[in-house]
Structures are given as C-alpha cells and as structure tokens.
Chain A
C-alpha cells in the first residue's frame, strides 16, 4: 500500500505541476472528473484524438504556409480548429499560441505565422510528452491495484 500511496502522491504532484506551469487548465480537470467506471479511458481517448487532430492540423498549416501564394484563410481555418480542440482539452498554452497565430493570419503576416507554427509545434510536443508521462503514472497506480486520486 505504501508503494501505491507513493505513486498516488507522485501523480498528484505531477498533475499539479502541469497546472502550475500553465500547460493545462481547469478544463483538463473537468475531463478527469468525467472519467468513471462507465468510461474508464475517457481522458486517454480524448487526448489521443487531440494528438491526432493536432498533427493533422499542424501539417495542414505547414503545407499552406509553404505555398507561393499563401491562403491565409485556409491557415486560419486550421488554427481556429486547433484553438477549439486545445480549449476543449484544457491545453492552455497551445490555445494561447493559436490566439496569436490567428492575429498573424488576419494580418497576412507569413513570418509571424511561421513563428507561431514553430511555437505551436513546440507546445504541442511538450504537452504530448507530459500527458504521456501522466498517463503512465496512472497505469502504474492501476497496475499496483490502487485508484487514481481525484484532483480538485
């Protein structure tokens, strides 16, 4: 049981740090609250969908920005989608970059857009790593027969 307690504490600490670092916001906590016996893998499922969606959208943006005549409306549409998804999952840093990104799209500023694309790719990778670590910690707790602590 000590081992489980230790793992649970580790999980809570890690989760809290993600919030403190501003990587995740309260929306992620809301998702965790929606997970129950009826839907035990809900958060992992949503996160997986988000990762897939992110990669697809980032690729779309990169391709659109590579064009000779950049279709900023198209880029903006992808950014808008990414902003929505990141907001729904609580990926606040990704969302914030999207907000800046949209301004550059509106201004048809290719350089600004490319910078944002770089930033969004970075934030996304960071988030993916952190979430995968968090999910690993969860799995360890469950494997040891413990339950995932609810974080308020």
Chain B
C-alpha cells in the first residue's frame, strides 16, 4: 500500500525544450516521469497501437487497470500532453485514450500556449481533467495529484466491485460463450443438443 506514493506521469510534447521543462517540473513535484515526443509514441508506451486500438477494446479479459496492455509493465497514473503537435494532436490523443476501455480511466491533462476558449471546452468535454496554459508553472502541477489519487482509490475499490459483480458475471460469460456457441455451431452436427446446454451454464 505504501508503494502507491509514487505517481508516474507520461508527458507528451513535440518540443524538446518543453519536454525538458515539464520533466523538471514533474520531478521537482516528486513524480516519476516518462517523456515522449508524439501522440503515437504515447499510445505505444501505454500499450495501445493506433490500429490495434479497436481490436483491443473488444477483448473481454481487459481489466480496468492499465497493467494489461503496457508493453513495459509500467503503470501510468496521468498523461499530460501538449495540444499542438504534428500528426496526432493532444486532442486526438485524449480521444483515443478515453475511447479505450483499458486506458479511459487514466486522467489526461492538456497543455497549450494558446488560450482559445473553444479549444479548452472541447478538451474538457472530451474528458480532460485540466487545461493548463503554457508556460506551465510548478503551482499548476499541484492540481494534478488529486486526479491521480482519485484513480488510485478507484483501483483499490475494483476488487470489491468485482466481488459484488460476480453474480452479474453471467452476461460477461454469455459473451464468451456466444463466441463459443458460434464455434460450437460448426460442431453442432457432431453433438447438437449437448453443445447448446453446456454453452449456457
């Protein structure tokens, strides 16, 4: 439990200067930091490939924790990203994270050098926790910890939730069995009745 005091932040920015700056700010605030220079690299680090994203979210064994899909078995507690980046913007990255069942619980914070109200509301509507104006200050980062703590509390509650939902697991197992049933259809000719019954148990 005590080990949870270290939060790991993934910082995304195409500017090398801003990456250096945000890294220093985050480290000074006692966070563990990983920096990447693009949205696609961020998704890779989080274990989600741009193209694979859709396939991954359909897999029934995905857990709410993001351990499952991290290539490096590293838990990311918050993603802080620049808005204006070539290729995938911070907004695009935000969307991809929120659309992913494995990653959507990770809080995302957007940074931008431009104070555009419509941009800000768009990001907040899409699920960003905060919108920070650049240059980011040390005091801005004080806003981050509460969001990460919320997730930690959620994570610890998950096991209890799962116990309560055990009774509701039947819908889930039905999903699995639907697949099995589809496969079973081909073997129906061999054992038609038995297959139908076992699938529903």
Q: Which among B17, B18, B134, B138 is the interface contact of A34 at CB below 8 angstroms?
A: B138
Binding stretch for chain B, among A3-11, A15-23, A82-90, A115-123: A82-90
Q: How large is the interface on A (under 10, 10 to 19, 20 to 34, 35 or more residues)?
A: 20 to 34
Chain A: minimal CB distance from B171 (Å): 49
Residues from chain B with Cβ under 8 Å of A36 in the complex: 28
Question: Considering residues A34, A42, A49, A84, which has the most beta carbons from chain B within 10 angstroms of its beta carbon?
Answer: A84
Q: Does B15 contact A (CB under 8 A)?
A: yes
- The distance in angstroms between the C-alpha atoms of A87 and B134, with both chains bound, is 8
Q: Which among A33, A46, A80 is the interface contact of B21 at CB below 8 angstroms?
A: A46
The answer to whether B25 and A45 touch across the interface, beta carbons within 8 angstroms, is no
Interface string of B1-30 (1 = CB under 8 A from A): 000000000000001111011001101100
Residues from chain A with Cβ under 8 Å of B113 in the complex: 83-84, 87
Closest to B113 in A: A84
**DSSP class of B's interface residues: helix, strand, loop or mixed?**
helix
Residues from chain A with Cβ under 8 Å of B135 in the complex: 27, 30, 87-88, 90
- The distance in angstroms between the C-alpha atoms of A81 and B24, with both chains bound, is 20
The answer to whether B17 and A30 touch across the interface, beta carbons within 8 angstroms, is no
The answer to whether A42 and B24 touch across the interface, beta carbons within 8 angstroms, is yes
* Number of residues on chain B facing chain A (CB within 8 A): 16
Question: Within B112-138, which residues are at the interface with A (CB < 8 Å)?
Answer: 113, 134-135, 137-138
Q: Show 24 residue pairs from A and B whose CB-CB distance is below 8 angstroms, ordered by the A residue.
A: A27-B135, A30-B135, A31-B21, A33-B138, A34-B25, A36-B28, A38-B27, A39-B24, A42-B24, A49-B20, A53-B15, A53-B16, A81-B15, A84-B15, A84-B113, A84-B134, A85-B17, A85-B18, A87-B134, A88-B15, A88-B18, A88-B21, A88-B134, A90-B135
User: Which 3 pairs across A and B sit closest by C-beta, in order of nearness?
Assistant: A85-B17, A88-B135, A34-B24
Residue numbers of B with Cβ under 8 A of A are: 15-18, 20-21, 24-25, 27-28, 84, 113, 134-135, 137-138
